Structure 1
């Protein structure tokens, strides 16, 4: 069988066309005799010229595989007319051939849905330029880049609403942790901070830029994408670790100034040591998590995956990030409350000398109390992290919600069926049409005649 992956590069002779069609005439071989006879007797005739490419041979063999009269090919002397004739019958013929594959699709539905996907290059023509190294949308269908097909403003609005719905449970849980004895000013400041984070999240999720899927796996060894991702992870880990450590240290030193009842370990020297230990621990923990779950800059990090690999990786990375940050925060708060009585006891020992034995402390109770409060704060942080990190999956879900009138809800099942039927094919992390000419014809013929 001829190689259809190089359809535009390999010319076909009449002898090759005869051999190919003869091998495909398993059912009712007498139907093909006029065509085969013409190819044998007129190797330089009009039929040989119109069937001079593997793509047209594939079209002809598919269209007449189950039904029809192949002698109709003798009528067409122009390759363009033959292409239009065969392409108009290609999808119904492929559907008939692969009717054994379970899929409740009609030829009209298949044509309409594939035409929608084929129009993606035109729909994406005025999009924001993608990062350097990104796959061009003119030849390949990348799932997380299809969202402009359903309307840019609609998808971005739904995406922002989904991000807000994901964030609200964590925000409500965080606000519920405010002690009842807290002042009204503290509650208002907390509410204002939550609203500011929500607005920033909505603005970010409604951005025009296509969200890049996260990836926990490393790209292939020795590739440029691997070196870039390694450098990006180092920079992100150092930045997040330093920022977190400074924020924790400053907070622990400033809280006793604003509220003398919260000394975190007695005098300033003990509080300083206490703040230094916790800031270093928090910085290292959050920096490590940020480095391991950093988002790559382009699709090169997803090399060698199937088309659903980037979205699966984004969902997995989001879940892992949320769990890692939540557990880290819980342990840090448990450590904070566990170290506080220890610092107070040591301070008392230095101040009182031999009389320090009359003071007792119970770090276990501090750890237990910290774990209880830390679990609640960690869960709230987990909701926030996952609302931020699964941007590509969330945008894809918003795209499906907005494209119900143009594409099937179970888009993955339809794409898999199309590949099995020979209408599409996969190449790494992308879908491609079986041939560029099929894509062009579907783009200019959105409905069946």
Structure 2
């Protein structure tokens, strides 16, 4: 059977180029003529009685110039009681054969009240008495098309179960009492409002010439079994459940969605951002290059899903029976929509295509989404701890992390936009990787999911899901499907087309031909068995393609070598091991999404493999699938992190203090250059030690987990009332932190610098100390308060990519440093200018501005912000010790372009858990031989 196309365009209404005439010869008696409609590129829908007892069938197409072309047709599906038949037509050859190209899918509907309708067919009263087409020879007659316009009346013919088409323009004459002038119109598709509502089946003479009878689409469900409906679904895209048919006439346009404009705008932006994110990922994975790899699914084994009565939301006391849920990747949205409970579980082995299926589900849902439909969002379940966090709160946290939905909900001050979207049903959770939840928590996670009736799509490996069901219960209201293994036919269709053409430019003679031939002719051979066993999942096929099709000079025939690969597991390990080096022997194939320019960086394959191994081991230690840039340093020992952050904070403050003291002592004192230099070095060293120790202790206090990146950006104007509540808490923190640090610095100057004979007389004595300590505390509090005052939640589009979130956090730290410089520089400049003149005031302002910006501001950033800790640990310490490259983000983005990693919102993930685990194991095996390791 030929499946209906899934992505050829938007569903379309009546297209005259797709209407065809059916001409049959019969085994006995005269032949019949009828009408039909092309549903896909090579499948025509008609009435079963038109081709009944046919010895041969011809499908006649009317070209744009009025000429015709006859093509043989073959019956591929028919049901006499329902009076439906499908013909498969031969492909056309030549650019003018319009019938041979892909066509948009068809939308189906049922009629509830009278509606206007139309049908295009070839009735007998359109018989013409001259030649119709030079190609067909000296014809003396032909039938032309008739565009019948009328009204579908659903309440007529209820006992017969047909649809009456009334108010037709009747033929003027009915001269033959034995033949209807409408003869030949049978099989014509009946359309209304862009939807197919039935096919013409007969003309009752007693109804008059202005009426026809059609078989309505919704009656097909009563005449056909679920399995037969499923076959029609594959062939022509018929929905699997009558409830999924459009309803005509359509209701009046709904009012604008409820909620404030901010919420509607957030939904719109989220939908666009999610689509862009996963469309880019699908292109990177070459899902459609050159064709999608076949991924099939079927109904899972009994015992894993709920009662069909609960799944189908049937009335009490009824047992509706199972739904036909078998299909292919391109049918996943249609299958999901056929489940009334809107809860579907997809099971599949490692690498079986669950991730690709979720991508296709999200993109297809977004492709025909209306403003009122929820936005499908993929959530990686491996990061959820059901013991400490509810599903709702965890999803809100993920939406804030990945899409920046931290702004306040206008309707509820205590709730952010993420919570508003979840609570109002505007999010459709696509929960990927149930099996990645810690094994001891999967049963509890299933209990938490059963506490909701939230529509969802969930993926898992079969064994882990079955264990959770056995320990607790089935997922309430959820249907369950399972992905099938790939077949030899799938490999034969895909691998040659994904490789370089053979010597004749065709599919023969490709590098895969010997391997596929062995699999077909000697399947029991051990080498062939190993290959057939491993290449049953899209993951392994994609890796084999990368290694042997995309990289020149590699021969996949080596996969059959049983001396190298004694078992299928040996072969699997070979593909996992060879994938990364192969990916780094070729340049990246994508463009930088930020600039649109193609970026080509070349990394040493061996070093890249080592760095990826460290990152994989890092994720293993954290027991997560999410590679977050702000967590890269968290697997270092805490003492190492505290020392690095404290040293860099002390260094920044000490250097700026030492440099800043030089011009002041040279201009404002008469001690000379040597004194200024010595005093600057001593003060810088002592102040750096004190401040470094203080910032190190602050980091030690807050570093029990990774510091989350800020979800705010700075905006100078607008919406000040929303910011006032944040000023006082930040001001208090700054005052409490700054006052003791200022006191320590005064004590250092009085207790150490002065006894060394390095006092410059510029500290103002006791009065200056009494003013400096509270003044510094107030200044630090004012800095933090001002920054809090100016912060607003980040825009959703700046939070969807890791690099964008990193850039926003860097800008925040730079702005922090500017505010530190402005507040302390102005205060010191004005104070000293009043007492000691403008020159000394100007110098003091510069010195305090520099010390505040590069000493306090940078120290604050290093110890208190995610970006600062990223710089200290991931941009300095980890590259210095060889764990990651110096250009970390560039390396991670490049790994995404090469298909090793993927971007999932604000974090990175390995392409597949199996690849991550392999790299982590390889790294651990070599780790004992490498220097600079923290174990």
When the two structures are superposed, what TM-score results if normalisation uses the length of structure 1? 0.64
Task: Please say if 1:83 is aligned against 2:572.
Answer: yes
8 Å Cα contact 2:732-2:781 kept in structure 1: no
After superposition, the Cα gap between the structure-2 partners of 1:408 and 1:282, relative to the gap in structure 1 and judged at 3 Å, is closer
Structure 1 equivalent of residue 534 of structure 2: 50
Structure 1 equivalent of residue 874 of structure 2: 396
8 Å Cα contact 2:614-2:884 kept in structure 1: yes
Structure 1 equivalent of residue 321 of structure 2: none
For 2:894 and 2:696, the matched residues in 1 are separated by 36
Query: Which deviates further from its counterpart, 307-316 or 374-383?
Result: 307-316
Matches within 5 A, 1:346-365: none
For 1:174 and 1:97, the matched residues in 2 are separated by 50
For 1:13, which of 476, 480, 486 is the aligned residue?
486
After superposition, the Cα gap between the structure-2 partners of 1:424 and 1:119, relative to the gap in structure 1 and judged at 3 Å, is same
8 Å Cα contact 1:155-1:395 kept in structure 2: yes
How much does 1:11 deviate?
3.7
Higher relative contact order (CA 8 A, sep 6+): 1
How much does 1:205 deviate?
4.4
Give the secondary structure class of the aligned counterpart of 1:426.
Answer: strand
For 1:59 and 1:111, the matched residues in 2 are separated by 16
For 2:792 and 2:556, the matched residues in 1 are separated by 54
Structure 2 equivalent of residue 351 of structure 1: none
Matches within 5 A, 1:26-425: 26-28=500-502, 29-37=509-517, 46=529, 48-65=532-549, 66-73=552-559, 80-98=569-587, 103-122=601-620, 124-125=621-622, 138-148=624-634, 152-172=638-658, 196-205=690-699, 208-209=703-704, 210-214=706-710, 216-217=712-713, 233-237=726-730, 239=732, 286=783, 288-292=785-789, 304-333=799-828, 370-382=841-853, 383-390=855-862, 391-392=868-869, 393-404=871-882, 406-425=883-902
For 1:218 and 1:375, the matched residues in 2 are separated by 25
8 Å Cα contact 1:164-1:198 kept in structure 2: yes
When the two structures are superposed, what TM-score results if normalisation uses the length of structure 2? 0.34
How much does 1:415 deviate?
2.9
Give the secondary structure class of the aligned counterpart of 1:445.
Answer: helix
Task: Please say if 1:23 is aligned against 2:497.
Answer: yes
Give the secondary structure class of the aligned counterpart of 1:147.
Answer: coil
8 Å Cα contact 1:234-1:291 kept in structure 2: yes
Give the secondary structure class of the aligned counterpart of 1:432.
Answer: strand
For 1:436 and 1:307, the matched residues in 2 are separated by 20
For 1:120 and 1:159, the matched residues in 2 are separated by 20
After superposition, the Cα gap between the structure-2 partners of 1:328 and 1:18, relative to the gap in structure 1 and judged at 3 Å, is same
Structure 1 equivalent of residue 395 of structure 2: none
How much does 1:324 deviate?
1.1
Q: Unaligned regions of 5+ residues in structure 1, if any?
A: 126-136, 182-187, 220-228, 248-255, 264-277, 342-364
8 Å Cα contact 2:649-2:858 kept in structure 1: no
How much does 1:305 deviate?
4.0
After superposition, the Cα gap between the structure-2 partners of 1:87 and 1:205, relative to the gap in structure 1 and judged at 3 Å, is same
How much does 1:200 deviate?
0.7
Structure 1 equivalent of residue 316 of structure 2: none
8 Å Cα contact 2:734-2:781 kept in structure 1: yes
After superposition, the Cα gap between the structure-2 partners of 1:102 and 1:6, relative to the gap in structure 1 and judged at 3 Å, is closer
After superposition, the Cα gap between the structure-2 partners of 1:57 and 1:371, relative to the gap in structure 1 and judged at 3 Å, is same
Aligned residues: 372
Query: Which deviates further from its counterpart, 55-64 or 39-48?
Result: 39-48
Q: Unaligned regions of 5+ residues in structure 2, if any?
A: 1-287, 294-352, 358-432, 434-458, 460-482, 503-508, 590-598, 671-681, 716-721, 741-763, 863-867, 927-935
For 1:214 and 1:191, the matched residues in 2 are separated by 32
Structure 1 or 2: more helix by fraction: 1
- 1:54-103 Cα shifts (integer Å, max 9, x gaps): 10110111221133333444567965343112112222332344389855
Structure 1 or 2: more strand by fraction: 2
Give the secondary structure class of the aligned counterpart of 1:67.
Answer: coil
Structure 2 equivalent of residue 250 of structure 1: none
How much does 1:120 deviate?
0.6
8 Å Cα contact 2:648-2:692 kept in structure 1: no
For 1:94 and 1:190, the matched residues in 2 are separated by 49
How much does 1:156 deviate?
3.8
8 Å Cα contact 2:821-2:849 kept in structure 1: yes
For 1:300 and 1:170, the matched residues in 2 are separated by 35
After superposition, the Cα gap between the structure-2 partners of 1:82 and 1:235, relative to the gap in structure 1 and judged at 3 Å, is farther
For 1:434 and 1:60, the matched residues in 2 are separated by 15
After superposition, the Cα gap between the structure-2 partners of 1:409 and 1:151, relative to the gap in structure 1 and judged at 3 Å, is farther
Give the secondary structure class of the aligned counterpart of 1:31.
Answer: coil
How much does 1:139 deviate?
0.6
How much does 1:387 deviate?
1.8
Give the secondary structure class of the aligned counterpart of 2:610.
Answer: helix
- 1:299-354 Cα shifts (integer Å, max 9, x gaps): 9999734323344333322221111121123333455578x79xxxxxxxxxxxxx
For 2:714 and 2:537, the matched residues in 1 are separated by 41
